[in-house]
Amino acid sequence: MASSAIDIRTSMAAVDGLLVVSLPGELSDVVLNRIVADVTQRVTEDSIRGVILNLSTVTLLDLAEFQVLRHLVQTNEVLGVPTVLMGIRPGIAAYLCQMPITIDDLIFRVDMASALEACDG
Model confidence pLDDT, tens digit, residues 87-106: 999 999 999 999 888 898 99
Taking only Cα atoms into account, the Rg of the chain, rounded to an integer number of angstroms, comes to 14
pLDDT of the residue at 26: 83
Q: HSE of 36 in the Cβ direction (CA atoms, 13 Å)?
A: 18
Render pLDDT for 19-48 as a digit per residue (tens, 0 to 9): 999 998 888 888 899 999 999 999 999 889
pLDDT, mean of residues 53-69: 93
Question: What pLDDT was estimated at residue 28?
Answer: 84
pTM above 0.85, yes or no: yes
Return the axis-axis angle of helices 63-78 and 29-45, rounded to nearest 10°: 10
Sequence-distant (≥ 6) Cβ neighbours of residue 47 within 8 angstroms: 17
Long-range contacts of range 1-8, CB-CB < 8 Å, 24 or more positions apart? 6/30, 6/31, 6/34, 8/34, 8/35
* Sequence-separated (6 or more) residues with CB below 8 Å from residue 25: 57, 58, 59
Homologous superfamily of the 11-120 domain (CATH): STAS domain (3.30.750.24)
